Each structure stands twice: as C-alpha cells, then as structure tokens.
Amino acid sequence: MNNNAMEQISSRIYGNGRGHVFTSKDFSDLANHETIRQALSRLTREGKIRRLLRGVYEYPIFSTILDEWVPPDPERIASAIARAHGWTIVPAGETALNLLGLTTQVPARWLYHSDGPTKTFSWAGGVLAFRHRTNKEVTPLSAKTALLVQGLKALGKEGSDERVLDILREKLNHGERMKALKEARFVTAWVYEMIRKLNQGESPDA
C-alpha cells in the first residue's frame, strides 16, 4: 500500500476530530478504492478507528470519566451514509423531535426522509431508516428549516403550543428562525403559522 496515501487518509480522519463518521467515499480524491479499503482495514485493526457497519467507520471518542468508548452519534452516521450516496436527508418523526430538544426520549429507530431509495441500516445502537420522499417540505429547504418543519409535523397541530415555541426559540438562533420564515412559506398552512408565531415581534435585522 502507498505510504503517502495512508498518511493522507489518516491525516484527513484525524483532522476532522474525534466522533467523525465517514465512509471510503470520503477519500476518493486521495486514492483508488482498493488502497482506501486497505488503509481503513489497517486503521481498524490497529484500533485507531472502529467499524460501525459495513463501509461506515468512526474516529471514536474515549471518555476518561466513564473509562470507555463513547457511543457514536446516529445523526453523524446518517449523514455519512447520505453523503456516500448523494442523498439529501431530513430527520423526521421522533428523530426530529429529539434533535430539536422537544423530547428527551432517544429513538431506537432513527427516521429520515430522503430523496434516495427507501433503505434500512442496523448498527449496534439501533436502526437508521431512510424513507423515500420528494416534496416541497424536504429537498428545497435548508437543513434547519426542514428539521423545524418535520418536528412541528411530528408534534401535530394540537401538540404545537407556546411551550414548544419557547423551546424552539432557545434551540434556533434569530438568523435560523428568520430563514425558516422566508423558506417555509409554501409548507402546510398550520406549520407555517407556527413558524410565523416563532418570529412574532422580531425585526429581520435584529
């Protein structure tokens, strides 16, 4: 194996910091597939990275307090899989609620809407489910706006109250809230009304 390629691959992994999740596609500009495969296999054997599921790896975090490896972030795993396949994904259902801080319950099944095919991936921490869905509430929106829309839809109209708005004001900064107001004007009417209330009384230039 080319030592220069090994150094470049290792450098990119370490440069992204611990907790980073990646696939071989993330190194396709550095070497051919076989060289990348050999490098990742070697780093796995040496305990420098860990394999989470087929073709997906992590530069793990070790907790000195717990004296054990920290479980990988499901959101990072989903992003790595989507990046490798060229999919646009949006957290949905309980996954969206968890990421927005609207529930403390950790999903056993992390659900994402995707413009790719419907797929399910199992790993040690649970299941990642990608559900094919292409519509105006997924692909054209920025990541934070799409997450907000899906979170509100998961709660439903009756469950989206002032308490929810208070949590969202803490979770999303002014710029993200104003961007959502601009982007989400064509989503379901009641969802947009909640986003409008989220921005009530705020100046666009605040």
Q: CATH number of the domain that 18 lies in?
A: 1.10.10.10
pTM for the predicted model, two decimal places: 0.88
Q: 141 or 9: whose pLDDT is higher?
A: 9
Looking at the structure, tell me whether residues 148 and 58 fall in a common domain: no
pLDDT band (50, 70, 90) for residue 87 = very high
Domain-located, residue 101: yes
DSSP-assigned states of every residue in 140-199: TS-HHHHHHHHHHHHH-TTT--HHHHHHHHHHS-HHHHHHHHHHGGGS-HHHHHHHHHHT
Domain-located, residue 185: yes
Domain-terminating residue out of 36, 69, 102: 69
The reported pLDDT for the residue numbered 138 is 66
Looking at the structure, tell me whether residues 101 and 40 fall in a common domain: no
Domain-located, residue 17: yes
Looking at the structure, tell me whether residues 55 and 148 fall in a common domain: no
Looking at the structure, tell me whether residues 88 and 64 fall in a common domain: no
Tokens coding 137: 């509430």
Closest by CA position to 155, among listed 105, 201, 92: 92
Looking at the structure, tell me whether residues 115 and 171 fall in a common domain: yes
Looking at the structure, tell me whether residues 96 and 51 fall in a common domain: no
Task: Please give the Cα distance from 49 to 203 (Å, whole number).
Answer: 47
105-139: b (≥16 Cβ within 10 Å) or e: eebeebbbbbbbeeeebebeebebbbbebeeebbe
How many other CB atoms are found less than 10 A from the CB of residue 32? Answer: 11
Looking at the structure, tell me whether residues 146 and 176 fall in a common domain: yes
Domain-located, residue 204: no
Residue 34 belongs to domain spanning: 3-69
Instruction: Give the least confident one: 105-109, 130-134, 202-206.
Output: 202-206
Looking at the structure, tell me whether residues 98 and 138 fall in a common domain: yes
Looking at the structure, tell me whether residues 131 and 174 fall in a common domain: yes
Domain-terminating residue out of 43, 69, 95: 69
Looking at the structure, tell me whether residues 164 and 179 fall in a common domain: yes
Angle formed at CA 201 by CA 148 and CA 136, multiple of 5 degrees: 30
Domain-terminating residue out of 47, 69, 91: 69
Looking at the structure, tell me whether residues 46 and 142 fall in a common domain: no
pLDDT band (50, 70, 90) for residue 11 = very high
Beta carbons of 17 and 59 less than 8 angstroms apart:
yes
Q: How many domains does the chain have?
A: 2
**Helices in the chain by DSSP H: which ranges?**
3-15, 33-45, 74-85, 93-99, 143-155, 162-171, 174-183, 189-198
The reported pLDDT for the residue numbered 83 is 96
**What's the mean pLDDT when you consider all of the chain?**
91
The residue type at 179:
K
Looking at the structure, tell me whether residues 193 and 129 fall in a common domain: yes
